[in-house]
Structures are given as C-alpha cells and as structure tokens.
Structure 1
Amino acid sequence: MPTPNPDALHFLQTRRSRPAKTLTTPVPDRDTLLPLLTAAARTPDHGKLEPWRFIVIDKPAMGRLADIAETRGAALGLDAEQIQKGRGQFDQGHLAVVVVEVQKPSPKIPPLEQTYSAGAVCLALLNAALAAGWGANWLSGWPSHDRGFMTEGFGLADNERIAGIIHIGTETAAPPERPRPDIAALTTWL
C-alpha cells in the first residue's frame, strides 16, 4: 500500500499561479533561489541529457531586456500594444528565471522529449516557488519566441530556445479562483 502525502496532494490540487504584474519585492536571494532551482532540476529527464539550463534575471537586467523587447518589437513591425506587452513583463519584473531548452544530439532521446523535459522544469520551478510561499507566474509572450530577442537578450545558441520565464516575488493580492477543466469530460477509461 502506498504511503500518501496528503499535504503535497492538496497543494497540487489547489495551486494557483500569481499574475506576474502583481508580484513585488522582496524576491528570493541567491541562497533562497538555489533550493527552488534544485527542486526544478528533479524533473523527468530521459537519458539524463539535462536538455535545459537556467538564466536568473535580477532587477538591473530587467530594464535592458525591456529595451531589447521594445527594439525587437519595432523591428518586427508589431503594434504599440504588442510592443508594450512584450516590454511590460520586464519593466514590471523584479526577479525571473529563464528556463532555456537546450536541444542535445541523442540517438535515443528525440527532440520532442527534450522539449517536454524543459516544459516540466518550468512547471516544477513554478510549483517549487509557490510551495515555498512565493508568488510565481510562468510567462512566455512574443519575446520568448523571437530568435533576435533570445540571441541579443540572453546570448542563446542556435540549439537553445526559451521554454518559459518564471517570475518570482512577493504576492500583493491572491487571484480569484477560475474555472477548472472538467476531468470527467477529458478522461477516457480503457
């Protein structure tokens, strides 16, 4: 018979991301953030490839990234609202962790499974931050998918891309509950 962990299950059943724009200081310092990154790294990783890495963005770097997002948005011909939205996640941020997917050659592990592993790291980091009492939110947005932004902002190589940007800070307001999926409608039993 398995040994249940009801507290962990309750947390997972009730977890709720906090909107990034509602997060403020204080934010985790390096010593507080390292255990969260360690928890995130305990993600399923077929073949032990570690097809991901972390880039920590602190407040001073946020302004530089906001400027790059604005410049890239203009170069891409995006409208002012899209540019502001891309810039805003950095203008308003205090601390974030970029989970970088690193595609590695493997005869056994297909690229898609490496992508899944990087996505799992994003969720694991989000949940670790929430479980530690921080507010956290997983964002992407157009800058995360723009190769120019990835290269200029983070120096990513051709085999790397942004899997997600996890903003972490002190929550200022608990978000209201939202409708959740109808599990019965989404589940088939064979």
Structure 2
Amino acid sequence: MNDKISHDFPAPGEPLAPAHASAETLALLTRRRSTPAIELSEPGPDASQVEHLLGIAARVPDHGKLAPWRFILFEDDARASFGTILGKVWAVKNPDSTTDQTRFEQQRFQRAPLVIAVISTVTEQHKVPLWEQELSAGAVCQNLLIAASAMGFGAQWLTEWYAYDPDIKDALGLRSGERIAGFVYIGTATQDVMERPRPRAHVGRWKA
C-alpha cells in the first residue's frame, strides 16, 4: 500500500469522530443502484484504487475481530483463465448445453475489468455465532459496492450458480467451512441504469 492510501486510514488507537455528517454520502446511499455486470467496461480501478477498495471493504462490523472473510481478485488474463474452468464445469454438468451457452459461461468474468470474490471464512465452535460472522462478510460486499460508486465506478454483487458449485469451490481452493459470499463486478458503466421498484419496508414499533 502506498503512502497516500495508508494515510487515508486511521492508525490503531487513533481517536475517531463518532459521526461524519456528509450530505454527499447520504445522496449516494439514497440513489445507489447496482449496474448490471453486462453493462460494465474498461477502465476498472487501478492498483491504488483496488487497495483502497479492499481497505474500505474491511471496515465493517466484526464481532470478535475475527475478520471472517478474505478476497480473491480476478483481473486481466486471470478472468479468461478462470473462465475456462467455468466453461468446463458447466459443460460437464449440462451435457445438453449449446456451444453458445458454454461460451457465455466461459466469458462471465470478462463482463467487467475487475471481479472480487468475497469468501466467508467463519471460525467454527467460537463464541461469536456463525450467523454474525456470515453477516460481516455480507457487509464487506456492500462496502465494496458503495466504495466503488464513490470512486466513480459501476458495480454489481452477484452469486449465480458458480458461487455454490463444489467443483468451482475446489478450483478456488476454498477450505472446509468456507463459502462464497458473492462476486463483486466492478468497472465503468457504459450507460445509466434505471431505478427499479423498491419493496416497502415492514416497520413495527415496540410499545411498552
């Protein structure tokens, strides 16, 4: 991490303000919208921005300070290389698949210049419940989406079939108990996205 980025993050023990009033942040959160991966293109984040993204991603609630997640990055030729694995696994498990369908699977990671796999790495038999550890990995994915947007990039958090396939997990070197929280696709949006209908939240208030 270069000096500029390292200075952006507080040092352990540094006093921090309990709040950071920011109209820009509220506006971003109010209007944040995922960009479909198919609508992402070059350029993606540079090396400095990627490090900054990952640093921000890690600043999530983490009961027990377990850091129950890790990252696998797919950039440049690694996207096509892993796509070869996706295509082979897909073809074996879908023998009736057409050539075009298999090719589509091979090219999934080439939809965006950067794909970040967020791996949930829970510590079993720990006083911190597994559910809380898994929620922390989900918060990492959301932080990536927000940070990418703030940097001027489009992003989408996806799982799709390959997040749950045991052969893909083996190819990624996932250990026992590890799961894929999601693949976060990041790049430059090729067009604006339309707002979608939002479900109305169910809100209740406890009355004493």
Q: TM (normalized to structure 2)? A: 0.82
Secondary structure of the corresponding residue to residue 175 of structure 1: coil
Once the 2 structures are TM-superposed, how far is the Cα of residue 76 of structure 1 from its aligned partner? Answer: 2.3
After superposition, the Cα gap between the structure-2 partners of 1:70 and 1:3, relative to the gap in structure 1 and judged at 3 Å, is closer
Tell me which residue corresponds to 2:190.
172
Select which of 101, 104, 118 maps to 2:123.
Answer: 104
Structure 1 letter corresponding to 2:195:
E
TM-score when scaled to structure 1? 0.89
The residue matched to 1:119 in structure 2 has which SS?
helix
Further displaced range: 37-46 or 100-109? 100-109
Kindly provide the CA deviation profile for residues 111-144 of structure 1, in whole angstroms up to 9, marking residues without a partner as x.
1111111111001111110111111111110001
Amino-acid identity (%):
39
- Contact 1:86 / 1:141 at 8 angstroms: preserved in 2? no
1:17-96 residue pairs with structure 2 within 5 A? 17-77=34-94, 80=97, 83=102, 86-96=105-115
Q: Distance in 2 between matches of 1:148 and 1:9?
A: 41
1:67/1:115 CA distance change after superposition, 3 Å? same
- Which amino acid letter does the alignment assign opposite residue 154 of structure 2? G
Q: Where in structure 2 are there 5+ consecutive unaligned residues?
A: 1-18
Instruction: Supply the distance in 1 between the matched residues of 2:109 and 2:200 (Cα, whole angstroms).
Output: 34
Cα distance change, pair 127–75 in 1 and its aligned pair in 2 (3 A): same
Q: Tell me, yes or no, if structure 1 residue 116 matches structure 2 residue 116.
A: no
Aligned to 1:188: 204
Give 1:83 deviation, angstroms: 5.0
> After the TM superposition, which parts of structure 1 deviate over 6 Å for at least 4 consecutive aligned residues?
none
Aligned equivalent of 1:13, options 16, 27, 30: 30
The structure that is helix-richer by fraction is 1
Moved more, 32-41 or 156-165: 156-165
SS of the equivalent of 1:47 reads coil
Aligned residues: 186
Distance in 1 (CA, whole Å) between partners of 2:119 and 2:146 is 18
- Structure 1 unmatched runs, 5+: none
Map 1:122-137 → 2, pairs under 5 A: 122-137=141-156
The CA distance in 2 between the partners of 1:125 and 1:86, in whole Å, is 24
Q: Report what 1:159 is aligned to.
A: 177
CA, structure 1 residues 79+118, in 2 after alignment: closer, same or farther (shift >3 Å)? farther
One-letter code aligned to 1:164:
G
Q: Which of structures 1 and 2 has the bigger CA Rg?
A: 2
Whole-angstrom CA distance in 2 between matches of 1:88 and 1:113? 34
